[in-house]
């Protein structure tokens, strides 16, 4: 209803009538006085005869009339002053509207009607302000998500999740997921929003039938709400819409929305939105794959550079590959995921890439390094990080490349990190790097036998420099290798 229609109709104006009565009464007093004096004329043409008693009565009446007129008009005008002040106050302080109501609602006439009208206006303003505040909060939340997505390390991943969350809000869906397809044709979960956050295997199990149908038919799958006999809704249960992400006739992923906050089906308009959205996401995925291909080429190029660095030093040839093998074996022994083991291999391949900026005179020096030379050598992790930094897809390699010479007690370099500041992946690369460096010949000493190598590790463990859990796995693997190595006769 329009606010103007809700305002009360004004009644006749008793306030104005009262004002006129007071004013007329006050202004007629002098006229009545003059009239009375006129009646008191004597015989003489210019004389007036008034007794002292009558004169006193006249003065009292005039004074009383003036006082009554003054207080009556003052009371009326004071109400307008109070109204004006409280209106001004209510615009600054929300409590002013309550004060105004308390003062004026019990009045009569226009002031009471004005108070009621003002209350309706204030109530409507309150409603509008609350709606604006909700809109502001929503806008702030969306802008915050966009800001995080644009500044995140994994830009596209965050934008995909933001897209999914926005789609769920717009279509009133409860849950959703976006999948891409890898080179083996398998669906890979890129983002999920569920009433109860699920682990990846659970998401795949809940959505397998939909994804299989979409992959085989390359068409949108739609399922209305079929209900549940048990009365409980399963994750990613009906109603469901699952659309393929198609690029040039090839399915490269899927978007799935499930559940409805209002209603039991997805409307035609909502399905059209999902179709358009799937096209946009497919283009984003294709651009992502093209970018990943370019970054993979760059990654392979700098990996070749890392091998070239090792080729400069006959003592370190094959070092990165051996570190990667041991790191991967430790990761497998510790039960790390396939993705984490791949990270261990890639980080090991590049962990010494920064040595490309160190001269051969220092790298191949047969004796110990001077203080200045050691400072130069300790720059190679930072140089390596700067070389890898342009690869957005490989941002997860930056930490092990920069920090593989850190120690848990803070005695390492370049940042002197301690304890939990050093991630598990970096700790594994660190210990694998140490192991290979000890076992192989160096310009300043021959390679250490396993027994001596173990003594070195025990000393570092005693200082709190290494992770004992990782060392335990290393010992098991290294001793297995020792038992397979032919011993000299």
CA distance from start to end of the chain: 102
* Residue range 157-166: mean pLDDT, rounded: 76
Higher pLDDT, 328 or 52: 328
Fold (CATH) for 156-282:
Beta-Lactamase (3.30.450)
Residue 332 has pLDDT above 70, yes or no: yes
Find, among 290, 294, 400, 384, the residue nearest to 343 by Cα.
400
Higher pLDDT, 160 or 254: 254
Q: What percent of the chain has pLDDT over 90?
A: 18
Higher pLDDT, 302 or 255: 255
C-beta neighbour count of 317 within 10 angstroms: 14
* pLDDT score at 199: 84
- Burial of residue 367, with CB atoms counted within 10 A of its CB: 0-12 exposed, 13-18 middle, 19 or more buried: exposed
Q: How confident is the model at residue 461 (pLDDT cuts 50, 70, 90)?
A: very high
The number of residues in the chain equals: 489
> Mind listing the pLDDT tens digit for each residue in 133-142?
654 554 455 4
d(CA 137, CA 320): 51
Higher pLDDT, 108 or 225: 225
Fold (CATH) for 313-484:
Hypothetical protein af1432 (1.10.3210)
* pLDDT score at 425: 95
List b or e across 43-69, with b for residues whose CB sees 16 or more CB atoms inside 10 angstroms. Answer: eeeeeeeeeeeeeeebeeeeeebeeeb
Residue 155 has pLDDT above 60, yes or no: no
* Residue range 256-262: mean pLDDT, rounded: 86
Residue 275 makes CB contacts below 8 A (sequence gap 6+) with: 220, 243
> Mind listing the pLDDT tens digit for each residue in 73-82?
667 666 665 6
Residue 11 has pLDDT above 70, yes or no: no
d(CA 398, CA 388): 7
Q: Tell me, yes or no, if the two domains 156-282 and 313-484 fold the same way.
A: no
Q: Which of 1-10, 40-49, 93-102, 158-167 shows the lowest per-residue confidence on average (mean pLDDT)?
A: 1-10
Higher pLDDT, 59 or 421: 421
Compute φ and ψ for 467, nearest 5 degrees: -80, 115
Q: How confident is the model at residue 299 (pLDDT cuts 50, 70, 90)?
A: confident
* Residue range 379-402: mean pLDDT, rounded: 85
* Residue range 232-247: mean pLDDT, rounded: 83
* Residue range 227-235: mean pLDDT, rounded: 63
* pLDDT score at 489: 45
* pLDDT score at 476: 93
Q: How confident is the model at residue 5 (pLDDT cuts 50, 70, 90)?
A: very low
Higher pLDDT, 335 or 156: 335
Mean pLDDT for the chain overall: 75
Residue 464 has pLDDT above 90, yes or no: yes
* Domain ranges (residues) in the chain: 3-118, 156-282, 313-484
Higher pLDDT, 139 or 189: 189
d(CA 452, CA 433): 16
* pLDDT score at 122: 65
Largest Cα span, the chain: 167
Higher pLDDT, 279 or 329: 329
* pLDDT score at 315: 59
- From residue 227, alpha-carbon distances to 259, 262, 264, 267 in Å are 11, 15, 9, 18
Q: How confident is the model at residue 2 (pLDDT cuts 50, 70, 90)?
A: very low
* pLDDT score at 132: 62
Q: Which of 129-133, 339-343, 412-416, 476-480 shows the lowest per-residue confidence on average (mean pLDDT)?
A: 129-133
* pLDDT score at 150: 42
* pLDDT score at 293: 64
* pLDDT score at 372: 85
* Residue range 426-449: mean pLDDT, rounded: 86
Q: What is the reported pTM?
A: 0.47
* Residue range 422-445: mean pLDDT, rounded: 88
Residue 358 has pLDDT above 80, yes or no: no
* pLDDT score at 10: 41
* pLDDT score at 115: 61
Q: What percent of the chain has pLDDT over 70?
A: 60
Higher pLDDT, 480 or 136: 480
Q: Are 343 and 425 in contact (CB under 8 A)?
A: yes
Q: Which of 85-94, 194-203, 358-367, 412-421 shows the lowest per-residue confidence on average (mean pLDDT)?
A: 85-94
- Backbone CA torsion sign across 412, 418, 419, 422: negative
Q: DSSP character for 243?
A: E
Q: How confident is the model at residue 409 (pLDDT cuts 50, 70, 90)?
A: very high
């Amino acid at each position: 209803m329009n606010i103007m229609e809700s305002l009360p109709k004004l009644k006749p104006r008793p306030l104005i009538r009262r004002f006129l009565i007071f004013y007329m009464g006050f202004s007629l007093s002098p006229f009545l006085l003059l009239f009375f004096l006129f009646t008191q004329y004597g015989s003489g043409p210019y004389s007036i005869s008034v007794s002292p008693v009558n004169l006193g009565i006249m003065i009292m009446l005039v004074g009383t009339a003036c006082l009554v007129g003054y207080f009556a008009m003052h009371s009326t005008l004071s109400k307008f002053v109070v109204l004006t002040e409280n209106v001004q106050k209510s615009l600054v302080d929300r409590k002013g509207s309550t004060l105004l109501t308390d003062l004026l609602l019990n009045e009569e006439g226009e002031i009471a009607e004005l108070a009621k009208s003002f209350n309706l206006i204030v109530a409507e303003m309150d409603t509008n302000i609350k709606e604006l505040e909700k809109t502001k909060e929503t806008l702030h939340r969306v802008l915050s998500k966009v800001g995080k997505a644009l500044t995140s390390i994994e830009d596209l991943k965050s934008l995909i999740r933001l897209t999914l969350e926005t789609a769920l809000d717009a279509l009133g869906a409860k849950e959703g997921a976006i999948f891409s397809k890898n080179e083996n044709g398998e669906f890979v979960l890129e983002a999920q929003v569920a009433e109860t956050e699920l682990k990846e295997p659970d998401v795949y199990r809940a959505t397998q039938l939909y994804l299989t149908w979409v992959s085989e038919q390359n068409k949108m799958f739609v399922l209305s709400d079929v209900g549940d006999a048990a009365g409980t809704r399963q994750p990613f249960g009906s109603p469901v819409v699952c659309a393929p992400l198609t690029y040039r006739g090839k399915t490269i992923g899927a978007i799935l929305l499930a559940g409805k906050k209002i209603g039991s089906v997805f409307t035609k308009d909502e399905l059209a939105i999902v179709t358009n959205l799937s096209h946009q996401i497919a283009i984003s995925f294709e651009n992502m794959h093209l970018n990943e291909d370019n970054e993979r080429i760059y990654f392979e190029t700098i990996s070749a550079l890392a091998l070239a660095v090792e080729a400069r030093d006959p003592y370190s040839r094959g070092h990165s590959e051996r570190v990667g093998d041991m790191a991967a074996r430790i990761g497998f022994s510790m039960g790390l995921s396939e993705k984490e083991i791949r990270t261990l291999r890639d980080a090991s391949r590049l962990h010494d890439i920064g040595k490309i900026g160190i001269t051969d005179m220092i790298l191949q020096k047969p004796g110990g390094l001077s203080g200045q030379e050691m400072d130069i050598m300790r720059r190679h992790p930072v140089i390596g990080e700067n070389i890898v930094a342009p690869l957005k897809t490989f941002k997860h390699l930056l930490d092990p490349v920069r920090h593989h010479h850190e120690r848990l007690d803070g005695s390492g370099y370049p940042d002197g990190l301690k304890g939990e500041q050093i991630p598990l992946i970096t700790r594994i690369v660190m210990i694998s790097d140490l192991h290979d460096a000890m076992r192989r010949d160096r310009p300043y000493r021959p390679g250490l036998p396993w027994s001596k190598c173990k003594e070195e590790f025990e000393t570092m463990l005693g200082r709190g420099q290494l992770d004992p859990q990782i060392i335990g796995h290393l010992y098991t693997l290294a001793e297995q290798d020792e038992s397979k190595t032919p011993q000299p006769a």
